[in-house]
Amino acid sequence: MKKVITYGTFDMLHYGHINLLRRARALGDYLIVALSSDSFNAIKNKQSFFHYEHRRQMLESIRYVDLIIPENDWEQKREDIIKHNVNIFVMGNDREGKFDFLKDICEVVYQERTPEISTTRIKNHLKIR
């Protein structure tokens, strides 16, 4: 079984997120999503509209997602990959090269983002209305 993992906050879930999850799942047989916890978002100076539990519930309803684990700190990626026997690490290409340090334990794939949509773009648009 080929396992794939990706990380994110997945706040204000939109079709760009769905595209990423669909394409990530297509790379393997099992998709793990490491979902940023509320406490980790605070460390990153991010404030989510939805709390962790609600974001987890939304992700659970997506057919491409097989397992959701909490992301609690910057350092856990290597540990998660080893613990869950992950073959492929997936991240958006806006982070190109940032995770190459994981290439010694798995394949690292940077997927193209859906260019016309982002959570930041949605939040900025809603501020002007």
* 127 a catalytic residue: no
> Which of 33, 45, 99 has the alpha carbon at shortest distance from 71?
33
List 110's β-bridge partners, or say none: 91
Residue 73, phi then psi, degrees to nearest 5: -160, 170
**Candidate list 2, 46, 98, 103, residue with the active-site label:** 46
Q: How distant, in Å, are the alpha carbons of 75, 91, 92, 94, 105 from that of 19?
A: 26, 12, 11, 15, 26
**Candidate list 2, 44, 83, 98, residue with the active-site label:** 44
Tell me the three state secondary structure of residue 126: helix
* 46 a catalytic residue: yes
Q: How distant, in Å, are the alpha carbons of 7, 30, 62, 85, 116 from that of 66?
A: 14, 6, 9, 14, 27
Active site residues: 44, 46
